[in-house]
Amino acid sequence: MKNQIKTILLFGLLTGLFLAIGNLLAGVQGLTIALILALAFNFGAYWFSDKIVLSMYRAKETNDLKLINMVKQVSQKAGLPMPKVYMIDSDNPNAFATGRNPKISAIAFTTGIVDLLNEKELKGVIAHELSHIKNRDTLIATIAASIAAGISYIAMIARWSAIFGGFSSSDKKRGSGFEVLFLTVLTPVIATLIRLAISRSREYFADEKAAETIDDPVALADALIKLDNHSKKNPMMFGNRATASLFIVNPFSGKSFLELLSTHPNVEKRVGKLKKIGMKND
């Protein structure tokens, strides 16, 4: 519940920021145009993002019966329809879920994760990805990314307008001094930080729900430790960093960054929370 409330508050903050800069830049007219653009981005991402991301990672539907049966077993425990199962040819041990709703969904696994994890750990990962599907985290991430992209787009227009004197006198009165600086420089940074915070909160929530589904939080904790260690040694060699938040651990980074700038929570914190859940269940 804590992570759900946090996500709602962050969305409210992101939306409020979006409305504020639209009004600052061009009043009601600018706000209306920005909202139309954001809706168009969301519509396209909602309907086509699953196909785009699966194609980006050259994912192919698998006939691995052992893996398919594991996904089927955990799906039944989670009370979800069976998603399609895809395989990605990569040594980076990872997995992600995609799809706009539980009836139209897929889980993609790398060959690296299937080779690395034992059955219990793999089921923990499957439960985590199914939690993303059940709670429509793909949709949440898409909306957050679209709003953040819209904010960055508006800020870019504002910067070029300021450079070439595109603001009218009324615009200057509405957005002068610190307001213009805030719009053109600070808002994209703030929007990105909020989007990343939303991504991290959904990872914590998916971990929690996965532990409930398989009733084995330690298995998921062990999987996360393995994935984090091996992913740093074998980062993903293709794909797009903008999609990093989809994966159970960051597939691209071999170094540790400030958590504030990360798509994922610190693995030690995730493991700690899962072990606390395990202690409560004992």
pLDDT at 271: 96
Q: Report the length, in residues, of the chain.
A: 282
Q: Is 169 a residue whose pLDDT tops 50? A: no
Within a 10 A sphere around the Cβ of 129, how many other Cβ atoms?
28
The pTM of the full predicted model, rounded to 2 decimals, is 0.77
Cα–Cα distances in Å, from 269 out to 7, 26, 49, 167, 208?
18, 43, 30, 47, 12
Domain count along the chain: 1
CA nearest to 197, candidates 21, 48, 20, 5: 5
Quote the CA–CA distance of 5 and 161 in Å, as a whole number: 38
Q: What whole-number percentage of the chain has pLDDT above 70?
A: 62
pLDDT per residue as tens digits for the range 9-36 = 555 565 666 656 655 555 556 556 666 7
Range of the domain at 19: 2-281
pLDDT per residue as tens digits for the range 79-130 = 999 999 999 999 999 999 988 789 989 999 999 999 999 999 999 999 999 9
pLDDT per residue as tens digits for the range 59-75 = 999 999 999 999 999 99
Q: Residues with catalytic annotation? A: 129
pLDDT at 168: 47
pLDDT per residue as tens digits for the range 222-243 = 999 999 999 988 899 888 777 7
For residues 139, 144, 145, 150, the Cα torsion angle rounded to the nearest 10 degrees is 130
